[in-house]
Chains A and B, each alone.
Chain A
Amino acid sequence: EPEVTQTPSHQVTQMGQEVILRCVPISNHLYFYWYRQILGQKVEFLVSFYNNEISEKSEIFDDQFSVERPDGSNFTLKIRSTKLEDSAMYFCASRKTGLVDTQYFGPGTRLTVL
């Protein structure tokens, strides 16, 4: 069964550094998402992406964040200058299309900012 994959599984970085989290959505999916979950808190929506542009973003997704689909398979989340409060699990999700369709999530990347 096709799955969403994410790399790395764990990323440790210093405050102020740039990080890129990578996702490979399911191959025939057209809608892509990033969510995050701070330890002990709810899963929060960050951004949705379709047809090479952002379709919606949350208040969390400020100018420090960007997303890109650099080729036909990868979907990336970049944090330009990480802060301590960016430490969280980051989940990528994708969905195909159509009226009755659902989002499938990857296993997540644990980002630790020191």
Chain B
Amino acid sequence: DAKTTQPTSMDCAEGRAANLPCNHSTISGNEYVYWYRQIHSQGPQYIIHGLKNNETNEMASLIITEDRKSSTLILPHATLRDTAVYYCIVRPNLNFGNEKLTFGTGTRLTIIP
């Protein structure tokens, strides 16, 4: 699976948009970008995923560059409950075989009141 690079930590003011970058310069054509977050020691929570188009759901937006070498997760109006470690993961989307998720160290996002 392609390696991802994320900043170790970020702060964001409450109510502002939080923009979390991820570099995945070795991503290959069949690999999707997934974002999860982990609040304290809870189970990782799925946020969003995409292949090459920008995606939006009720939690966040995912912007993927045209060359797919990087992406940005956007939390449009951050709240204190968004304080968590955010993981950017790339993996092939196959219906068989290697489906494991490989977690890095992620970005620790702190929302400041």
Q: Which residues of A contact B (CB under 8 A)?
A: 4, 31, 33, 35, 37, 42-45, 48, 55-56, 58, 89, 91, 93, 95, 97-108, 110
> Do residues A48 and B93 form an inter-chain contact, with CB atoms below 8 A?
no
Tell me the total A-B contact number using a CB cutoff of 8 A. 62
The residue that B46 contacts in the complex, of A91, A104, A106, with Cβ under 8 A, is A104
Within 8 A of A (CB), among B14-41: 32, 34, 36, 38, 41
Within 8 A of A (CB), among B61-95: 87, 93-95
> Do residues A45 and B101 form an inter-chain contact, with CB atoms below 8 A?
yes
> Do residues B43 and A105 form an inter-chain contact, with CB atoms below 8 A?
yes
> Do residues A98 and B95 form an inter-chain contact, with CB atoms below 8 A?
yes
Q: What is the CB-to-nearest-CB distance from A51 to chain B, in angstroms, rounded to a whole number?
A: 10
Q: What is the CB-to-nearest-CB distance from A78 to chain B, in angstroms, rounded to a whole number?
A: 20
> Do residues B103 and A48 form an inter-chain contact, with CB atoms below 8 A?
no
Chain A to chain B contacts (Cβ below 8 Å), 17 pairs? A31-B99, A33-B99, A33-B100, A35-B101, A43-B38, A43-B101, A45-B101, A55-B96, A55-B99, A58-B100, A89-B41, A91-B44, A100-B32, A101-B93, A102-B34, A102-B49, A108-B41
Q: What is the CB-to-nearest-CB distance from B95 to chain A, in angstroms, rounded to a whole number?
A: 6
User: From A102, which residue of chain B is reached at the shortest CB distance?
Assistant: B46
Q: What residues of B have a CB within 8 angstroms of the CB of A107 in the complex?
A: 42-43
Closest 10 pairs between A and B when the two form their complex, measured CB to CB? A105-B43, A43-B103, A45-B100, A105-B44, A91-B43, A107-B43, A108-B43, A42-B103, A102-B46, A106-B43
